[in-house]
Every structure is written in C-alpha cells, then in structure tokens.
C-alpha cells in the first residue's frame, strides 16, 4: 500500500480477483503463452501486468484520497509510493533508459571502445544465447534456477570459436534471455548473494596484499534484471514481437555490458599505468602478491598513500571506464588480452566456467 492509500488490508482480499481479471482472453494470447512455456492462468504478460497496476491504483487511491481527483492521479500516487521504497541512490533505476544512452553511451569515446571489443564480446554472447532447439520450454524450465531455485539448467557443451563471418551470421538470430544474462554474470563473478536493488557505493579501497572483495562488489540478480530490461529496445506489439521484448539482441547486450561496468570495483586506467601493470587482472595479481605496497613498489615511498580501487564515479566518462572493464571481463572468460594487440580468444568457450567471486 502507499502512503496516501488504504494499504495492504484493503488490497489483499482483492489480489486474486485483480490478477484473474487482468488476464487477456483469446486464441492469440493463449497461443503466445503456450509458445513461451507459461501457464494459461497463472502468469501475466507485460500488458496484463499494466492492467493489474491500474486496478490496484484504483482500489488503493480512490477519488476520495488526497490529491487523487481521477484515475491518472491515482496511478501516479501508487507509482510514487513504490519509488519511495527504493534506496535513496537507486533513482537511476527510475530514469528513462534513453537518459543513459544520450548522456553516457552515445559518445565517440564509448563507441570506439565498444567497437574495438565487440567481436570478442560477440563470442561470449553466442556462448550463452539460446539456440533454436532450447528456446521453447527452456526459459520456463530454468527460470527459477538463476535466482538460486531448485531446478538446474540443462547442461550445454562449450562452443568452439567460430570464424568472424559465421559468428556475425549466427548473431543475427541469437537472443539472450534474462536467465542466460544472469547465468553469464554469475560465471563472471559479478553476482553477489542477496536480493533487492544494488546501491551505488563509490567508496575506494586500498590495494594491499590482504585485499578482499568489498561487501557487495558487483550487483544483485534483481539489479541485473533491471539492467537487462533497461537495455532492451522497446516495442509496441507484445504479441507479434514477443521475443524482442523479452530477450536481448547482440546490440542490446553491448548496452547491458556498458551499464554493467558501473558496478565493478576496479583500478582506473591511470592507476594501472602508474603501477606498471598490463590491466586490471594483472593489477590485482600484483596487489595480492604484495608488490604494490608503499615502500615495495618503486613508485611509492613507505609513507605514500597506497594504490586505490573503486567503482567508476558517475562523472567518469563511460569510454574511460570501459577501457578497464572490458579487458577484465574478457579475461574472466579465458581470453588473453595482451597490452599491445587484440584479445586472443580461448580455443573453446564453455557455457558456464563459473569464476570464483572476488577481486582479480
């Protein structure tokens, strides 16, 4: 319930009625549910969920409620009360996806970095994106497993690295579901245990020999799902273009990865250069070996401040953050990223080579 509405006691007896009355009848909707592996009477499609929200708003925030002269104002009151329950620094989750694109993603520096690593990210995308023989019931069967549920996803063998031309052709029809997206992030060590919206902590940490992962380095599965949703290009026809509304194309995936880098604790490019390291992974290896300690590293006197790591600041240009994040991400999947040449992929990309959580 919301601050201005009657609240949960009024809502609870009506939830089943609201749910069932929001379901769309008709052969087209029934056929779509069957294709998606969804229950005919126990799952809401997106437009049905919107109906349910409207009905809840009308029930909780009647025209007798303060500031609710009509249904639009009732809906506004409900959504405002829901927003107030989010952490104070989670406001970016409520912003239009185009804000990130316009202000950070669609810049020449970010585009140049993404374009350079796109062929290598495509190989990771194809290793996790559903193949045609696994899309009908697989998403529903493995949905719960991504959040630690009782079912396990079907085992998939690794794919050999295809030629660039074959990879581009295969990318045209490949789609990445939210469960595959989270599985990919688990394999990269980016998902921490827990639920809720990940708060954007911009604290910095000393890169010392006893360096441990900061609490909640990375993001929750809930936040990963929100990034997934924000990265999809929206459409208006949920029935005929259902796949495009519920999955990521490769272009969408590149945007999701760009959004992802804001949640990883890493050194800056300048810190890596001063430390004489080849990249973030090498930096963490040196830190854990004690080679970056003040008085040990040649660039730091004993009383100097240590090298620091942290998440990118909101004011950090996205291209600058991606220069550090993307090589680190590729190395998590077995790529060799030399300092003076293009990344070299592994001979085989395994579907889920889950990496241990932590810095490095």
Q: Are the beta carbons of 343 and 120 closer than 8 angstroms?
A: yes
Q: Quick one: pLDDT at residue 94?
A: 67
Q: What percent of the chain has pLDDT over 70?
A: 66
Q: How far is CA 2 from CA 6, 53, 62, 84, 193, in A?
A: 8, 13, 12, 9, 29
DSSP H or E run through 344: none
Question: Which residues neighbour 89 within 8 Å (Cβ) at sequence distance 6 or greater?
Answer: 199, 200
| Res 121: pLDDT | 96
Residue-level pLDDT at 16: 72
Below-50 pLDDT ranges, the chain? 1-6, 132-165, 353-357
How does the average pLDDT of the chain come out, rounded?
Answer: 76
Distance CA 250, CA 263 (A): 21
Q: What is the pLDDT of residues 188-247, one digit of tens each?
A: 999 987 777 777 677 888 887 776 656 568 888 888 988 998 998 766 655 555 566 778
Instruction: Quote the pLDDT of residue 279.
Output: 94
* DSSP single-letter state for residue 333: T
The span from the CA of 74 to the CA of 59, in Å, is 9
Q: Outline where the chain has alpha helix (H).
A: 8-11, 15-22, 27-35, 46-60, 71-84, 97-100, 108-128, 138-142, 164-171, 178-187, 221-231, 242-246, 250-260, 269-274, 280-288, 318-332
């Amino acid at each position: 319930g919301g601050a201005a509405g009657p609240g949960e006691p009024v809502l609870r007896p009506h939830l089943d009625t609201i749910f069932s009355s929001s379901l769309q009848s008709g052969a087209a909707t029934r056929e779509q549910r069957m294709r998606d592996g969804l229950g005919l009477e126990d799952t809401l499609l997106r437009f049905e969920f919107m109906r349910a929200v409207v009905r809840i708003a009308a029930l909780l925030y009647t025209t007798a409620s303060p500031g609710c002269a009509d249904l639009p104002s009732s809906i506004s009151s409900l959504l405002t009360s829901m927003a107030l329950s989010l952490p104070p620094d989670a406001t970016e989750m409520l912003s239009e996806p185009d804000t990130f694109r316009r202000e950070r993603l669609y810049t020449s520096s970010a585009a140049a970095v993404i374009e350079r690593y796109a062929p290598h990210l495509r190989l990771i995308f194809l290793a996790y994106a559903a193949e045609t023989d696994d899309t009908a019931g697989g998403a529903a069967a493995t949905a719960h497993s991504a959040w630690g549920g009782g079912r396990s996803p079907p085992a998939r063998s690794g794919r050999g690295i295809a030629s660039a031309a074959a990879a581009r052709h295969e990318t045209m029809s490949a789609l990445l579901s939210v469960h595959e997206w989270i599985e990919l992030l688990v394999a990269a060590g980016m998902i921490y245990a827990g639920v809720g919206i990940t708060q954007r902590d911009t604290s910095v940490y000393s890169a010392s020999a006893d360096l441990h992962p900061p609490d909640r380095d990375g993001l929750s599965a809930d936040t990963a799902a929100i990034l997934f949703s924000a990265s999809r290009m929206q459409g208006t026809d949920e029935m005929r273009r259902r796949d495009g509304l519920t999955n990521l194309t490769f272009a969408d995936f590149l945007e999701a990865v760009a959004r992802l880098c804001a949640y990883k604790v890493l050194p800056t490019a300048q810190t890596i250069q001063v430390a004489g390291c080849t990249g973030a992974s090498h930096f963490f290896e040196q830190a854990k070996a004690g080679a970056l300690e003040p008085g040990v590293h040649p660039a730091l006197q004993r009383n100097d401040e240590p090298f620091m790591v942290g998440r990118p600041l909101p004011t950090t240009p996205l291209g600058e953050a991606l220069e550090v994040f993307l090589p680190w991400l590729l190395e998590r999947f077995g790529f060799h990223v030399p300092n003076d040449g293009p990344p070299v992929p592994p001979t085989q990309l395994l579907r889920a080579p889950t990496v241990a959580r932590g810095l490095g």
